[in-house]
Amino acid sequence: EDQVTQSPEALRLQEGESSSLNCSYTVSGLRGLFWYRQDPGKGPEFLFTLYSAGEEKEKERLKATLTKKESFLHITAPKPEDSATYLCAVQARTSGSRLTFGEGTQLTVNP
């Protein structure tokens, strides 16, 4: 069974204080690992898909990396508008297009 565990559950940062969110996964043949941002009352917003260990992708202040067991979402010099819940999901080669999500990390960036 595919499993995704995100840590920490909640993270409070000061504006400009860089940090990382963790996504550990167990999957029978990874097709892709997805990162999303979700604001309250809205659907998840697609950020990245990573496919193989060693891959990195960047978008503004966010950088996602992938190993064989986990992914990190690095946030550099965050701003208050980066406050949101960040979700990680995996797609296995054997499960079609199903995404298995973690519980998310709720990020708060204080000015």
- Binders of other proteins in range 19-38 (CB under 8 A): 31-32, 34, 36
Binders of other proteins: how many residues, by CB under 8 A?
A: 22
Does 91 help bind other proteins (rule: CB under 8 A)?
yes
Calculate the alpha carbon distances from 22 to 28, 41, 93 in Å.
20, 24, 22
Does 98 help bind other proteins (rule: CB under 8 A)?
yes
User: Site residues (CB under 8 A) for other proteins?
Assistant: 31-32, 34, 36, 41-46, 49, 87, 89, 91, 96-99, 101-104
